[in-house]
Structure formats: structure tokens, C-alpha cells
Amino acid sequence: MTAPIQLWYWPTPNGWKVSIALEEMGLAYEVKPVNIGTGEQFEPGFQAISPNGRMPAIVDPEGPGGQPISIFESGAILQYLGDKSGRFYPTEARARVEVNQWLFWQVGGLGPMAGQTHHFRQYAPAMIRDQRQIAYGVQRYTNETHRLYGVMDRRLKDRDYLAGDYSIADMAAWPWILPTLQGQTLADFPHLATWMDRVGSRPAVKAGRALLEDRRGNAGAAGKDAEAARRVLFGQRATKT
């Protein structure tokens, strides 16, 4: 019997990338929740798996040569799972390059820029009293996210998916398109909107996106619990009691 892959996970866009991939690829997995609002990402046991102290991470008990392997960084995880399953990550050189460039575009551009947009639009207003201090950040990252939406919209004008066939590149990018949180109007990007519906209608995407959804909090909200979560998320250490 194949041992399940351990998925160290919390329901965020980066976590969704890997839960969606595992569902799409039909790989057996078990969830190991990492509550980033309470500082579980800073625990030594998790950091032994993910030295950067960020989720997601995986442990495959049946890695290369039949030996266990742990992997952190969502892009590296997607590549590994694609190779392991033989699905959604082509082996032909040109097709593989096509997927890789859009995967790295998401990892190096869409994710970080959209993440900063979330910070300045959602979290910073609850953390900084003088709102003038965050106005530049809001404008800077909202505008950059708008530009990146445009890149995707142009790419998808004459194709159904980012790299030809549906692939790990789509799984990486789809969770990061969150127009309301990012100050965007999806109607301005019709090809992107169609792609969002096309990918989002896949049963495996729905299942991966819903994983632990009931445990997702809102550190941008008011209240003592949300304030404590912000201290953990942005103070880089767990609060000791």
C-alpha cells in the first residue's frame, strides 16, 4: 500500500496550489495543518521540513529511490508532484519550458506582488494609525497587480490555458486571482475571467480550494484575536503565553 504524502498546509493561495495539484493528480495525501495565525510555522519540527518557516511543504515517504523526501517552496513542490505523477508537467523539452516560465512568473511576480497588495489593502489599515503611511503601498501594489492581470489576459486571448494544455502553471496562478481583495475588476480582463471560470469549474480545483476552508481566519479584521494573529504573521515570531 502506498504511503500518503504529508501535506503541511494552511488555506491560503500558496497552500491551495498544492492541495489542488494533489487532487488533480490523484495522489494520496494526509493534511498536517500549520496554523500560521498562531505561529505553528515557527515550531522546530516544521522548520526542519521547511527551513524558511513558510507553508506549504510536503513529506513524501516514498520519494526518489524509495526514500523519504521533504520539499518546501510551492513551485518546487508542484514540479516534484508533476514528475512523480506524470501528469500536468510535460516531459518534452519545449512544452516543459513553456510550463516552467509561467510557473516561475507566478512564483516571482504574481504571488509576491498580489501578496503585497493584500498586505497594504487588508492588513496594514488595522496596523498603522496614520493611513497616509500606507497610501503609496496601496497604490503601488494595486497598480502592479493590475498590470499582471493584464499580462495574463493577453496571454489567454488565444488559448485556454497559460502554457498550452492545463498544467501546474495554471494550478499555481489560479489561487492568486482574488479581485476583491486586490482592488481589481475582473470584467476588465475578459479572457482572464473566462480562464478563472474554466479552471475553477474543475472538480479537483474545487476540492483543493475547499480544504480546511472553515479554519481560515481574517487577520485584517478587528478584535483581540485578529491583532494577535497579525503580531505572529508580521512580527516573525510566535506569541508566548
CA angle 13, 17, 20 (to 5 degrees): 120
Q: pLDDT tens digits, residue range 25-45? A: 999 999 999 999 999 999 999
* % residues pLDDT > 90 (the chain): 79
**Residue-averaged pLDDT of the chain:** 91
pLDDT tier at 226 (50, 70, 90 boundaries)? low
Question: Quick one: pLDDT at residue 59?
Answer: 98
Question: Quick one: pLDDT at residue 230?
Answer: 55
> Residue 80's CB: how many other CB atoms inside 10 A?
19
What fold does the segment set 93-201 form as a domain? Glutathione S-transferase Yfyf (Class Pi); Chain A, domain 2 (1.20.1050)
Using alpha carbons only, how large is the chain's radius of gyration in Å? Answer: 18
> Which of 49-58, 164-173, 208-217 has the weakest average pLDDT?
208-217
Residue 239 or residue 200, greater confidence: 200
Do 106 and 145 contact (CB within 8 A), yes or no? no
Do 5 and 65 contact (CB within 8 A), yes or no? no
Q: pLDDT tens digits, residue range 134-162? A: 888 999 999 999 999 999 999 999 999 99
pLDDT tier at 225 (50, 70, 90 boundaries)? low
Going by C-beta distance under 8 Å and a sequence separation of 6 or more, which residues neighbour residue 145? 113, 114, 117, 182, 183, 184
Task: Taking residues 106-133, report their average pLDDT.
Answer: 85
Range list for CATH 1.20.1050.10 in the chain:
93-201
Q: What is the largest CA-CA distance in the chain?
A: 59
Question: Quick one: pLDDT at residue 240?
Answer: 38
Superfamily, domain 5-88+218-235: Glutaredoxin (3.40.30.10)
Range list for CATH 3.40.30.10 in the chain:
5-88+218-235
Which residue, among 15, 164, 168, has the nearest Cα to 105 in the 3D structure?
A: 168
pLDDT tier at 118 (50, 70, 90 boundaries)? confident
Task: Taking residues 221-240, report their average pLDDT.
Answer: 57
Question: Quick one: pLDDT at residue 227?
Answer: 65
